[in-house]
Chains A and B, each alone.
Chain A
Amino acid sequence: MSAVFPKWTNRLPLMILTGLVLVGGGVVAGVWYYFTPKYTRVGYQPLQPVAFSHKVHVDQLGLDCRYCHHDVERSWFSNIPSSSTCMNCHNQVLKDDPRLALVRESAATGRPIAWVQVHKVPDYVYFNHAVHVNRGISCVECHGRVDQMDEVFHAKPLSMAFCLDCHRDPASFVRPLDKVTDLAWRWSEDPAEHARQQQSQGRRMVEHWRIESLQNCSACHR
């Protein structure tokens, strides 16, 4: 046979194979990491028109979530409080603080503050806050420790797989109704004990509250 290729090309098949495995593995790993909501959504923290701190209001002052987001138990939509809610306190607290100028102006003129929405699901997803809150799903499951956030960021991926993880196994996530807004709440300080209780109590709650673990299309994509 004519010597078309030099001798070192004997190693070429191995090199090509290794290269393919590396490139293929790299592409899969890269897509897995960088192209899923775990990366593309988690950590999203837009600049808000008013630097509202949940940490101050919840952690420091002890406000319940429902003081501001008061429709969350009644409506599919968890409302953003209007400026008048802010002014309940801020007409006296920090009443001349320049950081609150926009809030005062909004309350005076009635023109709403242009808050930037952080948690957005597409329009073809019909998410209902009330049904979740009334069946023992805590705010923390989807929004993370908002009580610890100075400014809100996207803590959970909110992908369909994320929703289905819970819909397929609600017992691992439900909690007593009066603890829904208590973001730090655990069954026990001991993690093993917490997990045990969550399973046994969770299963009981799912049964008693008749939680249907809906996984059909029309549950969300109506």
Chain B
Amino acid sequence: MATVTSSAAVPVVPKELLREPLVTNNRTPGWISDRVASLIEGRTPAWWWVAFIPSVLLAALLLGMLAYQISTGVGVWGNHHPTMWAWDIINFVWWIGIGHAGTLISAILFLLRQKWRTAVNRSAEAMTIFAVMCAGIYPAVHVGRVWFDWFLFPIPNSNAIWPQFRSPLMWDVFAVSTYFTVSLLFWYVGLIPDLAVMRDRAKTKIRQFLYGLFSLGWTGSNRHWSNYEKAYLILAGLSTPLVLSVHSIVSLDFAVSQLPGWHTTIFPPYFVAGAIFSGFGMVLTLLIPLRRWCHLEDIITMRHIDVMCKVTLATGSIVGYAYGMEFFIAWYSGSPYERFAFINRALGPYWWGYWIMIACNVVFPQLFWFKKIRHNLWIVFILSILVNIGMWFERFVIIVISLHREFLPSNWAYFKPSWVDIATYLGTFGLFFTLFLLFMRFLPMIAISEVKGVTPHADPHMPEGGAKGGHH
């Protein structure tokens, strides 16, 4: 601390950077609680049912497709030699990537003391969990014999055999299951004070019981908060290397192989950047309509959207750099297979996939350089969807285009998805939106206690203004 001056004069408060406040219109803590809780306590809005019913139907479609595929065989998909991995793995990587923004927002931005995260972290974490659930289905069912999935776990058994710990697919099992568990814990720990808020506001016995049960007797005492903050910080510190390693491990599924187009050392950081890129794309896609429909404009402000657009721009540019570097190395390596692999990407039978990827991931996000664009919600929304499409095509390009023409020309083939591929993928959207809509109806979509911490009211120095403050 600075030395206390002996003069009796009022201490000079350093001038704040004039930043737009994180909660606009000078909303009070009480208003924040009421606003967020009203999403749960109020009547179910009509748009919720309009979104929920098709989502459930799509989730049922997913179940049907999985039942059909498991009972008939993986051959119902379009996968064939040499493209033995296609939509199953594309969608797995895509969903896992979507999930990464949630942890970035909750953990990495927490470590970096980015207070704007408070308004978006809860829904981003929920997005992570549901996206990882959608992703986790694919490694389980893309195998030909689903009922032997338990062989992947190192369990002592009467076969006296263990899994092969050298395979990145094995690491996937540990990475994804750890990631899911830690994300769930992190999300739940964050929810405890808010569940207590919901408990205390509850009008019905059932709500009081359930929120009371899950808030684990939280009273918001000083000691509670002190331990809570430490636990949250530790979890954030643990999640940060986790989020970087999980998608790196996913990238090693490819980078460890010998295939031209896959065997690249740039993959781990490049996949992580892509994951954060696509994850932020998805956060924007979800939050832009939700802030309107749920009337959260004062909590998820234009500044939040603006910052998320900037992160998208930054990660999108990293991804663009990686695309360029891949091409440079393909030329620089002098390996004819590597060169061919990349010429084939841009000019081969799947040229359209490659150029959709370049347009959606490299060209369009560059529009985020302009403040006008970042503040036009329609354009941001459309660009965020393009990011998701582009990142799907990135995985398509990496997986299918590398596989369909490899070392031996006699192995070349053209991959086409079957209707089951497509319906399964659509079905995972159903599962995702079903879970997300249930989440926003039953759990506080905004971290109430954290947002309160960043309001001017929570600032001990400047009770009336400025965007400083917060409990972290």
Listed in ascending order, the chain A residues whose CB lies under 8 Å from chain B are 1-2, 4-5, 36-38, 157, 159-162, 164-165
Q: Which of B158, B161, B212 contacts A36 (CB 8 A)?
A: B158
17 contacts between A and B (CB under 8 A): A1-B219, A2-B199, A4-B199, A4-B209, A4-B212, A5-B212, A5-B213, A5-B217, A36-B157, A38-B158, A157-B158, A159-B158, A160-B158, A160-B161, A161-B158, A162-B158, A165-B160
- Other A-B contacts than A4-B199, A5-B213, A162-B158, 5 sampled, CB-CB below 8 A, are A4-B209, A159-B158, A160-B159, A160-B161, A161-B157
Q: Are B160 and A37 in contact (CB under 8 A)?
A: no
Residues of chain B within 8 A (CB-CB) of A157 are 158
- A160's nearest neighbour on chain B, judged by CB, is B159
A165 vs B157: C-alpha distance in the bound complex, in angstroms? 13
A6 vs B373: C-alpha distance in the bound complex, in angstroms? 56
A164 vs B208: C-alpha distance in the bound complex, in angstroms? 57
A159 vs B158: C-alpha distance in the bound complex, in angstroms? 6
How many B residues touch A, CB cutoff 8 Å? 13
A121 vs B150: C-alpha distance in the bound complex, in angstroms? 21
A215 vs B159: C-alpha distance in the bound complex, in angstroms? 12
A79 vs B11: C-alpha distance in the bound complex, in angstroms? 101
- B161's nearest neighbour on chain A, judged by CB, is A160
Q: Are A159 and B212 in contact (CB under 8 A)?
A: no
A148 vs B160: C-alpha distance in the bound complex, in angstroms? 30
**Contact digits for B158-197, partner A, Cβ 8 Å, 1 yes 0 no:** 1111000000000000000000000000000000000000
B464 interface hit (Cβ, 8 Å): no
Task: Decide yes or no: A161 and B199 within 8 Å by CB, A1-B219, A5-B212 being known contacts.
Answer: no
Taking CB atoms and an 8 Å cut-off, the chain B residues in 123-175 that contact chain A are: 157-161
Chain B CB within 10 Å, residue with most, of A161, A162, A164, A165: A161
Min Cβ gap B253→A in Å is: 23
Min Cβ gap B153→A in Å is: 13
Task: Decide yes or no: A159 and B209 within 8 Å by CB, A1-B219, A2-B200, A4-B199 being known contacts.
Answer: no
A5 vs B213: C-alpha distance in the bound complex, in angstroms? 9
A160 vs B219: C-alpha distance in the bound complex, in angstroms? 55
Residues of chain A within 8 A (CB-CB) of B161 are 160
Min Cβ gap B148→A in Å is: 13
Q: Are A37 and B219 in contact (CB under 8 A)?
A: no
Q: Are A164 and B158 in contact (CB under 8 A)?
A: no
A36 vs B156: C-alpha distance in the bound complex, in angstroms? 11
- B210's nearest neighbour on chain A, judged by CB, is A4
A208 vs B199: C-alpha distance in the bound complex, in angstroms? 77
A164 vs B161: C-alpha distance in the bound complex, in angstroms? 10
Chain A CB within 10 Å, residue with most, of B157, B158, B159, B213: B158
Residues of chain B within 8 A (CB-CB) of A1 are 217, 219
Task: Decide yes or no: A161 and B208 within 8 Å by CB, A1-B219, A2-B200 being known contacts.
Answer: no
Q: Are B160 and A160 in contact (CB under 8 A)?
A: yes
- B216's nearest neighbour on chain A, judged by CB, is A13
A5 vs B217: C-alpha distance in the bound complex, in angstroms? 9
Residues of chain B within 8 A (CB-CB) of A165 are 160
Q: Are B159 and A159 in contact (CB under 8 A)?
A: yes
Min Cβ gap A41→B in Å is: 10
- B199's nearest neighbour on chain A, judged by CB, is A4
Residues of chain A within 8 A (CB-CB) of B157 are 36, 161
Task: Decide yes or no: A164 and B212 within 8 Å by CB, A1-B219, A2-B200 being known contacts.
Answer: no
Residues of chain A within 8 A (CB-CB) of B219 are 1
Residues of chain A within 8 A (CB-CB) of B158 are 36-38, 157, 159-162
Q: Are A164 and B209 in contact (CB under 8 A)?
A: no
- A165's nearest neighbour on chain B, judged by CB, is B160
